[in-house]
Amino acid sequence: MTEKERSQLGLLYNANYDEELIEERLHAKVLCHEYNQLHPRNIEERETLIKTLLGKTTDRFLIEQPFVCDYGYNIEIGENFYSNHNLVLLDGAKIVFGDHVFVAPNCGFYTAGHALDVEQRNEGLEIAFPITVGNNVWIGGNVSVLPGVTIGDNSIIGAGSVVTKDIPSGVIAAGNPCTVIRKISEDDKTKYKRN
């Protein structure tokens, strides 16, 4: 079994010394570098490059520069996805975003974890668990989402949160560790004035 196959099965694998994974990460880093060097007004070229890099995209999305990821092919974004500057996606496992997801600046989604045993960790062994973000989710600035987390539809994650466990649908959650503060209610429709 290859190290890549081990990673996809959620088993400990060696990402540090495996030539296939090293080359795949290097390929993604080169594309990220090219993307981050493109002129911001060159939207079509930016979209084309992201579509080459990511595993699944839609017709309407915008990923502000700079952006970095490990592999790219493990990332899926839904329709009307938007991320602000400095998005980091460590995609040793799948990272899937639903439709109408908004990600504020300086956020990281980290599927990778390292072995707890010091000898295994020193061998370079790590593990990767998928991250899933539902539809209509808003992620505040400086949020970290850790391996294996699912964030439910229509939820909001407050700025500065560290999401270590699943968050249900339709809630506002924040903190370190991130916990549910309250459900989103009908009153929230009138919280801010439009005119």
Best CA proximity match to 151, nearest among 103, 93, 192: 103
Taking each helix axis from N to C terminus, what angle separates 19-37 and 43-53, rounded to the nearest 10 degrees? 170
Q: Distance between CA 73 and CA 151 in Å, rounded?
A: 21
Q: Residues 27, 39, 85, 114: which is the catalytic one?
A: 114
Q: Distance between CA 28 and CA 114 in Å, rounded?
A: 21
Residue in the block written with tokens 């700025």: 159
Is 39 in the active site?
no
According to DSSP H, which parts of the chain are helical? 3-8, 19-37, 43-53, 118-122
Q: What is the CA radius of gyration of the chain?
A: 17
Task: Fill in the amino acid letter for 17.
Answer: Y
Angle, alpha carbons 189-191-195 (nearest 5°):
90
| Active-site annotation, residues | 114
